[in-house]
Structure 1
Amino acid sequence: RSWSVRLAVASASCSRSGALVAVARTAQCVAMAYRGPAYGLSAQIASKIASKRDPELESQILDWIEEVLECRLPQAPYEEVLRDGVVLCKLMNALNPGCIPKINTTGGQFKKMENIVMFQNAAKEWGVPDLDVFQTVDLWERRNIPQVSQCILALGRACYLHPEYEGPCLGPKPAEENKRHFTEEQLRAGEGIINLQYGTNKGANASGINFGNTRHM
């Protein structure tokens, strides 16, 4: 009986813990969604970030996504098209089939934010550098839309690095590594070059120049 009681207590405790975690996550999502307007320094920072938005790049990104997905996107503002993460997850599955097994097309805020996180992880696996990956709040709270664009641009450029991918890419092709190998003989020949062959500037100096001095008559 004592073991049964202990198991029952432990089970109840776990249930309460799980419920608390769920409540905390929901509260966090609600707080993030209903964040008030920024004032003072926060407003200045937000305005500065917003000024960096590039409408032309955003249009190119949406056109590229439509070309990859072979479908039209909703007629809505740029950030609203991407905000729930569904389009981003579909984009990743088009680039790398099966990388996101389940996309949350329904559900609350937490499910939508989960889509964004899944996209971020898949983008890193595709080759997007960590520094180019935006934070979840950058898109969900619209804090840094230019960083979202930078991430998608990096994603499009990473397509060049996947020969198995035959679809359209976005942006310029990344510079390829060009390693050069020298033999021991070539290295030794370089060490034997006389320094004077590189030239010298010892003959040029400021001797005799009295610019700025008082002229004595």
Structure 2
Amino acid sequence: MEKTSRLETATGSTLLNVELCGRQSSSFQLESGRQRNLVKSRMAAQGASTMANKGPSYGMSRQVQDKIEQKYDPELEVRLVEWIGTQCGSGVGKPEAGKLGFQAWLKDGCVLCELINTLCKDKPVKKIQSSSMAFKQMEQVSQFLNAAEKYGVVKTDMFQTVDLWEGKDLAAVQRTLMALGSIAVTKDDGFFRGDPSWFFKKAQENRRDFSDDQLKEGKNVIGLQMGSNKGATQSGMTGYGRPRQIMNP
């Protein structure tokens, strides 16, 4: 009987220990899961913040970045801010003076999408929504770029999303907006607002149509590459070595 009771006691203790170990293991796994989620959220937040705030450049990278920053034109910034405010209205507000203020004003893509919508009859960007999420902001900037390309801005005048969002090349952003304004002035379709002298007009196609008779006549014209039958000639000149003939009337 004694051996049986001792065995039951030992078995009960073992089961109790196993149960306690299982509870501790479950609580440890739960705590580990919470810590992993916390680390992931912190890394995501840190990644989102470091996308726009990159570390300093050194050496050749620093020289290249300095050259890019020197292309930024503060006077052009004032002109573009004035045009966008005139084109879109007071609802878009005005940025703080300087490159960082200009970037922060356009970074979320809302002002850019409002701008392209005021220039197009069909309003290509259907939904404009202010958001603090990075991918939403970059998506709206991409929508503006796609709409600007359809409007007529060539690819060589387009900036990349990272040029604006990370502040890599704000001079390229100015170049795109200048090209957009130039096309709006050139189209002269009634949607442009502001002073047309702020932008230059694009070269226009000057197509000429010739009739069949005019084309046939053109084949009889001697090309300048073949020489010319006009201008000074040797008419009336004597050959070399021959005396001049003097004749009395």
Give the TM-score, by structure 2 length: 0.63
1:29/1:110 contact within 8 Å kept: no
1:176 match: 204
2:167 match: 142
Give the 3 Å change call, closer, same or farther, for CA 198–58 of structure 1 in structure 2: farther
CA distance in structure 2 between the partners assigned to 1:147 and 1:198 by the alignment: 53
More helix by share: 2
* CA displacement, residues 179-215 of structure 1 (integer Å, 9 cap, x when unaligned): 1122333233233234332679xxxxxxxxxxxxxxx
1:52 match: 71
CA distance in structure 1 between the partners assigned to 2:216 and 2:47 by the alignment: 65
1:60 to partner: Cα distance: 0.7
1:93 to 114, 117, 122: 117
Deviating above 3 A after TM superposition, structure 1's stretches of 4 or more consecutive aligned residues are: 25-31
Q: Report whether the alignment pairs 1:70 with 2:101.
A: no
1:128/1:151 contact within 8 Å kept: yes
Identity across aligned pairs (percent)?
A: 36
1:26/1:110 contact within 8 Å kept: no
Give the 3 Å change call, closer, same or farther, for CA 198–150 of structure 1 in structure 2: farther
2:53/2:166 contact within 8 Å kept: no
1:197 match: 228
2:125/2:147 contact within 8 Å kept: yes
1:11 match: none
CA distance in structure 2 between the partners assigned to 1:41 and 1:145 by the alignment: 20
Q: Which has the larger radius of gyration?
A: 2
CA distance in structure 1 between the partners assigned to 2:149 and 2:76 by the alignment: 21
The Cα RMSD (Å) is: 2.8
Q: Classify the secondary structure of the residue corresponding to 1:197.
A: coil
Moved more, 161-170 or 79-88: 161-170
Give the 3 Å change call, closer, same or farther, for CA 162–130 of structure 1 in structure 2: farther
Q: Which 5+ residue runs of structure 2 have no aligned equivalent? A: 1-40, 232-249
1:39 match: 58
1:145 to partner: Cα distance: 0.8
1:64 to partner: Cα distance: 0.1
1:166 to partner: Cα distance: 5.0
